[in-house]
Structure 1
Amino acid sequence: MTEDEKVIAEMTEGRIVEGLRWAVASAHTRAWADFDPETGHNQTVLGIAAHTLLVDRQDRVFRLERYIATDDGRDQDVLLAGLLPAERDSLPAVAGVERADLNNSPAWRYGAYRWFLSSFEYGKVHDIAWGRKSPTKRKIAAQTGTDSPDQFVLPGTYDEPVGHALDTITLRELLEANVRDVNIVLAHSIDPYSGATELFVGKPRLNVGGGRPWVWLRSLLPNDGGSGSGAKPEAPAPTGPARGADVPDAPVRLRPRVAGKDAAVESSGR
């Protein structure tokens, strides 16, 4: 069994995949419902909203942070606040996950697996340049990959944007990072024109000089076959609450094209 098959099998058995699917569906649906180019929103606004909500929705589904269960049962009011009826009814309860943030970058751990969030421009999951991501993401991508277990990326070899200082990684940091966790990335994207969603889990590879960005990559959407192709899911565009109205659904409206080149947003800048 390959590493990606093992990760998917264990996360599926532990209901982690189920929880992540609920989280991204809830977060992206709400972010796209609130997205309004006519009022001045752009792809950056949509990306930040989707990313922030996905952090919140994961904490809800895994009962973490302010959603931890309490003996008096009052946590249920907090847990369900702000969710649509359909979201409340479908919200699973998944145990065994803990927060495992690194350098203020949100992360979650299940068993040996720790995953971080990264957004990307819709349809371009294979075009991610990790050298231009946050320092934390660069360090994760610079760890030893299973395709070259005896090779390290040494300090000073990042593909940095012009004008940015190089971020130093020591061999000790790389070794310590691999002691406990298999660090992976939960990569998500939302199409600003249709609301369609992409969701992948993969092991990043520091693609210096424009190489491939993943050691392996798998889609978590049931209708994408797990291929990691970056293809648009065959699913209807999500709908959500109308502004200022407490109703379960809102009419789908056509979105004008949005100015902005890249929808990828890092939540912490680290």
Structure 2
Amino acid sequence: MTAEVDALSTLRASGLLDVLTWAAPAAFAATDQVYDEDQGHDQGVVGYLNFKHLKDHLDRATSNGRFELADGLNGAGLDVLKRGITPEAFDSMPNLAADAVVRRDYKQSPGWAIPGYRVLLQSYPFGKIDDIKWVQRSDAKKRVADQLFLGDDTLFSDEEFGLESIPGIPDDDDFAGVTLVAAHAFNPMTKQFELYIGQSKNPGQNDDSCWHWKKKLLSGGTPMGGTGLPVPPAMPRGGASTDVEDVPVRIKRTGAGEGSGMANG
């Protein structure tokens, strides 16, 4: 089994892959509602808004961050989960089991983890997925791109290769496993968007790839400045709802998540 196949099958079985493919179009739609070129918004603004909206949606669907409950509570109302997203996005939100996905941040970069894998977020200009220079990103992303790649169809033992052959980032004591990157892009002018996931790497030579492997999860939009409707998968439309009932509907974990057992540096 290749590294890519193993990662994707594990992410899919856990539900985290469903959460990513749900969260991205909803996040891009939220960014589209805010973006205004006439106010000087540029690619930096788009990347920041996409990141904030994606982080919020991922936390919302996995009961983490501000959607994690305090000790002694085990349910959240519709008012909490529905506030800030469209009814369409809420209705299609994946329903994960308690503790299926937990927050495991790395050097202040938000991460969502399942046994064996963690996913961080990274924005990039649409169409430039192969041009990301990790050494010019945050220290966290540079170190993630230096992470050991064990290769495909290869088994290693500690006796043969030493402890450094264990997957993971050597200076990260809070997570044991492979850290992947979910790379996202949205062009608010054309409404085109992309979502990839893969294991990043710092190229050894100028013509090397910046990925050990990557997989396109989503793409859509209206190409080349058109004004038609987005092609599937379409982004949710309309504004976020604030008129909701306060009814307990989800069972959530207590004690785990962003506030415990995470890297804070």
TM range, normalised to the smaller chain? Answer: 0.7 to 0.9
DSSP-derived class of the 1:115 partner:
strand
DSSP-derived class of the 2:147 partner:
coil
1:205 and 2:201 equivalent? yes
Correspondence for 1:118 among 100, 118, 122 = 122
* Distance of aligned partners of 1:89 and 1:242 in 2 relative to their CA distance in 1, 3 Å threshold: closer
* Distance of aligned partners of 1:12 and 1:61 in 2 relative to their CA distance in 1, 3 Å threshold: same
Consecutive unaligned residues of structure 1, counting only runs of 5 or more, are: 150-169, 224-232, 248-269
* Distance of aligned partners of 1:216 and 1:38 in 2 relative to their CA distance in 1, 3 Å threshold: same
> What CA RMSD, in Å, does the superposition of the two structures yield over aligned residues?
3.2
Correspondence for 1:186 among 179, 182, 185 = 182
DSSP-derived class of the 1:221 partner:
strand
* Distance of aligned partners of 1:237 and 1:75 in 2 relative to their CA distance in 1, 3 Å threshold: closer
In the alignment, the residues of structure 1 paired with residue 92 and residue 27 of structure 2 have an alpha-carbon distance, to the nearest angstrom, of 14
The residue type paired with residue 57 of structure 2 is R
* Distance of aligned partners of 1:147 and 1:7 in 2 relative to their CA distance in 1, 3 Å threshold: closer
* Distance of aligned partners of 1:115 and 1:174 in 2 relative to their CA distance in 1, 3 Å threshold: closer
Correspondence for 2:90 among 66, 88, 91 = 88
The question of whether the paired residues in 2 share the 8 Å contact of 1:120 and 1:128 is answered with: yes
Shift of 1:24: 0.7
In the alignment, the residues of structure 1 paired with residue 109 and residue 191 of structure 2 have an alpha-carbon distance, to the nearest angstrom, of 26
Correspondence for 1:97 among 97, 101, 107 = 101
The residue type paired with residue 212 of structure 1 is S
**What is the TM-score with the length of structure 2 in the denominator?**
0.72
Instruction: State the aligned residue count.
Output: 218
Q: Which has the higher strand share?
A: 2
Identity across matched positions, percent: 28
Q: Which residue is 1:31 aligned to? A: 31
Q: Which residue is 2:110 aligned to? A: 106
In the alignment, the residues of structure 1 paired with residue 219 and residue 50 of structure 2 have an alpha-carbon distance, to the nearest angstrom, of 20
Q: Deviations along 1:193-247, whole A, 9 cap, x unmatched?
A: 2222211110011114422100010112288xxxxxxxxx95376464369x989
**What is the TM-score with the length of structure 1 in the denominator?**
0.71
The question of whether the paired residues in 1 share the 8 Å contact of 2:86 and 2:239 is answered with: no
The residue type paired with residue 89 of structure 2 is E
The question of whether the paired residues in 2 share the 8 Å contact of 1:47 and 1:119 is answered with: yes
In the alignment, the residues of structure 1 paired with residue 55 and residue 43 of structure 2 have an alpha-carbon distance, to the nearest angstrom, of 18
